[in-house]
Structure 1
Amino acid sequence: MTIRVLLADDQQLVRVGLRSLLELDGDIQVVAEAADGPEALREAERVTPDVALLDIRMPHLDGLEVTRRLAATQPGIRVVILTTFETDAYIFEALRSGASGFLAKTVSHDELCRAVRVVAGGEALLSPSVTQRVIAEFTRRVEPPRAAPERLSVLTDREREVLALIAAGLNNGEIGETLAMSPLTAKTHVTRIITKLGVRDRAQLVMLAYETGLVRPSGG
């Protein structure tokens, strides 16, 4: 099955480079491009891509606002934010806005295509380093929980354990190793947690784990 991608960046050379990398493999097709936020929204409505790769800094509407609007109007579109080192501070807000992952513009062909496939398959691009940035941002803001802890009452004790490990940035294999279960069993738990909590992916689970106070920025 071909994965259909919308590519949005105000720099044409970046779009050309990313398109060339994406279309080296036959299972990914760039079906639309956009040079700014409003155009990205128009193209998303026109072509309904599987994945939208959005630069975080675009004219008129930035990647965060485009992500928010897509999450509200076309939640089936998976959003990956294109970042540079200078935009790491936006990771927290991008997750909260509905992004499923992050990619550096200097990404390699293999990394780029793998990322698109992972996100299109319903997973999230959350490395431990990204998760640590989220934790650091929670620590800096020192905000009270935004979501009621009671929201997690639908989870079993084991599911709460799994959610805490997701929030620490562990993948299914690492969760399985930590809790003495197979990666497949860990994946089943993750799927059930996503369904019970009514979120889209692991990225949203990380946010919810911190917003409900299940996991504290201090590590508690």
Structure 2
Amino acid sequence: MKTRVIIADDHPVVIQGIRDILEKNGQFDVIATFNDGKSLLRSPLLAKADVLLLDLNMPAVDGLQTLERLNRTELSCKIIVITSYLSSQLAEQCKQAGVHGYLVKSEDLYLLVKRIQDVLAGESPFPDFSQPDQPMGNDFSYFDEFLKKYKLTKREVEIIRMVCNDYSSKEIADKLYLSTFTIQTHRRNIIKKLGLDDSKISLYRFAMDNGVI
């Protein structure tokens, strides 16, 4: 019997590339594809899948939000995140959310077949993060220009980093000796200034793209 796979990614080209690799292998049956988390979560086919290949950067409901909601279900399929983000922090968040494997898109996607086989065999393939992430320092050369460009304050950049490091509003408030209400206000202002949707992955993507983390 073939392994039943669902692919969720917001790039049709990526979906087609993954589908081609899996179907040419002959061991897999791609039973559905989705471009956003909301339609994925509504699908009755989730209950029939053996493996879910999940991108983190999706509209409507992003990958992290999707994982949170899947955790409240009795879904039995294995979940492998396929993402552009090579980050130990994000990978650890995914692992804590029940993800069974993590593949970065910059790797050869033909490794995906091996990743799926490993996960189905009970392994948890994640990248080797032997080199620690290098956070951006406040002394980097374009910091002032960066603040002016996005109309951010140094405090807001600090909060962006902490959010991306998975601190809750209360934890950030405690560390910065501010009220939770003040932190939540900062977060709303940051999202508004940057024109992002109110999701952690959109803020994470901004931070990664601009060297904030």
Aligned to 2:77: 77
Aligned to 1:41: 41
Name the amino acid aligned to 2:27: D
Q: Deviation per CA, 1:157-187, whole angstroms, max 9, x where unpaired?
A: xxxxxxxxxxxxxxxxxxxxxxxxxxxxxxx
Name the amino acid aligned to 1:22: L
SS in 2 for 1:4: strand
Counterparts of 1:1-16 in structure 2 under 5 Å?
1-16=1-16
Equivalent pairs: percent with the same residue? 30
Q: Do 2:8 and 2:34's aligned partners in 1 also have CA atoms closer than 8 Å?
A: yes
Q: Do 1:100 and 1:124's aligned partners in 2 also have CA atoms closer than 8 Å?
A: yes
Q: Do 1:5 and 1:28's aligned partners in 2 also have CA atoms closer than 8 Å?
A: yes
Counterparts of 1:171-190 in structure 2 under 5 Å?
none
Give the TM-score normalised by the residue count of structure 2: 0.56
Higher relative helix content: 1
Q: Distance in 1 between matches of 2:104 and 2:82?
A: 6
Q: Distance in 1 between matches of 2:95 and 2:121?
A: 18
Between structure 1 and structure 2, the one with the greater Rg is 2
1:18 CA displacement: 0.9
Instruction: Assess, with a 3 A threshold, how the Cα gap between structure 1 residues 106 and 31 changes in structure 2: closer, same or farther.
Output: farther
Q: Distance in 2 between matches of 1:96 and 1:44?
A: 25
Q: Distance in 1 between matches of 2:108 and 2:33?
A: 20
Counterparts of 1:56-205 in structure 2 under 5 Å?
56-85=56-85, 89-127=89-127, 129-130=128-129
Give the TM-score normalised by the residue count of structure 1: 0.54
Q: Do 1:34 and 1:43's aligned partners in 2 also have CA atoms closer than 8 Å?
A: no
1:94 CA displacement: 1.0
Instruction: Assess, with a 3 A threshold, how the Cα gap between structure 1 residues 38 and 18 changes in structure 2: closer, same or farther.
Output: same
What residue ranges of structure 2 are gaps of 5+ in the alignment? Answer: 136-163, 168-213
Name the amino acid aligned to 2:24: L
Instruction: Assess, with a 3 A threshold, how the Cα gap between structure 1 residues 131 and 45 changes in structure 2: closer, same or farther.
Output: farther
Q: Do 1:68 and 1:98's aligned partners in 2 also have CA atoms closer than 8 Å?
A: no
Q: Do 2:6 and 2:46's aligned partners in 1 also have CA atoms closer than 8 Å?
A: no
Name the amino acid aligned to 1:98: G
Instruction: Assess, with a 3 A threshold, how the Cα gap between structure 1 residues 8 and 87 changes in structure 2: closer, same or farther.
Output: farther
Q: Distance in 1 between matches of 2:69 and 2:124?
A: 19
Q: Distance in 1 between matches of 2:98 and 2:132?
A: 16
Q: Deviation per CA, 1:181-218, whole angstroms, max 9, x where unpaired?
A: xxxxxxxxxxxxxxxxxxxxxxxxxxxxxxxxxxxxxx
Q: Deviation per CA, 1:114-150, whole angstroms, max 9, x where unpaired?
A: 11111123321134x147769x9xxx97x9xxxxxxx
1:45 CA displacement: 4.5
Q: How many residues align?
A: 139
Q: Distance in 2 between matches of 1:16 and 1:93?
A: 27
Q: Distance in 1 between matches of 2:44 and 2:119?
A: 17
What residue ranges of structure 1 are gaps of 5+ in the alignment? Answer: 144-220
Aligned to 1:179: none
Aligned to 1:28: 28
Q: Distance in 2 between matches of 1:100 and 1:59?
A: 23
Q: Distance in 2 between matches of 1:122 and 1:131?
A: 23
Name the amino acid aligned to 1:16: Q
Aligned to 1:17: 17
Q: Distance in 2 between matches of 1:133 and 1:53?
A: 26
SS in 2 for 1:24: helix
Q: Distance in 1 between matches of 2:130 and 2:101?
A: 11
Q: Distance in 1 between matches of 2:41 and 2:20?
A: 23
Aligned to 2:206: none
Instruction: Assess, with a 3 A threshold, how the Cα gap between structure 1 residues 94 and 44 changes in structure 2: closer, same or farther.
Output: farther
